[in-house]
Each structure stands twice: as C-alpha cells, then as structure tokens.
C-alpha cells in the first residue's frame, strides 16, 4: 500500500499542502482518465484526507486538473505568478540552492512562490535526472550544478518580465 505524502498545490493565490494528492495523481495517470473525469476523481480522493473550505470546490478542481495536465505534458496556461521549483532530496546542496534563489530574489526585488520538491517520483515526472535542479515557471534552468548568482538574477528578471507582460495583456 502506498503511503500518502504531502504535495504542494497552488490553489488561487495560496500554495496548499495536500495529503494523498500524489497517490491520486498516479492512479489517475494509470487509468488514463480524461481531464474532466480526472479533476473529479482527484478532488474526491483528496477531500477524504484534507479539509477543503466551503465554496472552494471549483478552484481546487481547477488546480488539480492543471497539475494533472502538467503531468500529461499538455500545454499549460501562462502562470500569472512567478513559480520556482527546486528539486532535490533536501540535502545541503538543495538548501544552498534555495538560499541562493532567495538572495537573488532579494537583490532583484522579485517575488515568487518557491516550492521544494523532494519526492523522487515527482522529480522524475518533471524529467529531472540530476539534483539539485531549478525550474522557473515550468522551464528547467539547471540540474546537477549550482548556477552563478548572476545567472540566477538574470533568469529571475527575465521570468518576472514575462509574467508581468502576461498579466498586463
């Protein structure tokens, strides 16, 4: 039997930790569920183990569908916020990369959601073969080595400009 772990999911402006979402996603992928069926399946599986506030059902379903769509490799809508994922086992090197990203964000006055991804299956689903790895808005920037502070700052500024442009369009 699979042991459910917490998986972070962006619901609206909040990033929520949900127990059992990883297992539900794997089951939906194994059954090759269509998107709408997958959203309902994922929501029903997750609500058994997590509190979902009244009136938030559709937002949670949309967020779960977006996550499922990403795992299928389908085209994603442009994110309205800057999202950074750091993949790794939680080792010193991964934490050092997180600290470097935070320092670069402070230097460039850029705001972003930072998600640490430690689960090996999740790392593999994103095509990551070496850690630590850095993904900014769905694009893997580097894996297996640390970027320079200048590289980090450049990537963050470029990504923030794209997000701002998309938000103003």
Among candidates 26, 51, 28, 23, which has minimal Cα distance to 39? 28
Q: Which CATH architecture has domain 83-168?
A: 3-Layer(aba) Sandwich (3.40)
pLDDT in tens, 73-121: 775 554 557 888 999 988 899 889 999 999 998 998 888 878 888 888 8
pLDDT of 58 reads: 92
pTM (two decimals): 0.62
Residue 151 has a CB neighbour count (10 Å cut-off) of 15
Residues in the chain: 169
Percentage of residues in the chain having pLDDT higher than 90: 38
Provide the total of helices (H) and of strands (E) in the chain, helices listed first: 6, 6
Residue 76 has a CB neighbour count (10 Å cut-off) of 11
């Amino acid at each position: 039997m699979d042991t459910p772990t917490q998986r972070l999911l962006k619901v609206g402006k909040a990033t929520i930790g949900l127990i059992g979402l990883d297992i539900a996603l794997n089951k939906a992928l194994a059954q090759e569920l269509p998107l709408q069926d997958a959203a309902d399946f994922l929501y029903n599986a997750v609500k058994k183990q997590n509190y979902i506030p009244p009136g938030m059902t559709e937002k949670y379903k949309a967020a779960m569908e977006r996550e499922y769509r990403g795992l299928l490799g389908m085209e994603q809508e442009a994110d309205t916020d800057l999202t950074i994922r750091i993949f790794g086992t939680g080792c010193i090197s991964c934490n050092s990369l997180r600290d470097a990203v935070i320092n670069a964000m402070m230097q460039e006055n850029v705001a972003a959601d930072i998600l640490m991804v430690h689960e090996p299956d999740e790392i593999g689903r994103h095509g990551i073969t070496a850690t630590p790895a850095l993904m900014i808005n769905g694009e893997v920037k580097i894996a297996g080595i640390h970027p320079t502070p200048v590289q980090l700052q450049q990537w963050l500024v470029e990504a923030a400009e794209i997000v701002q442009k998309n938000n103003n369009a």
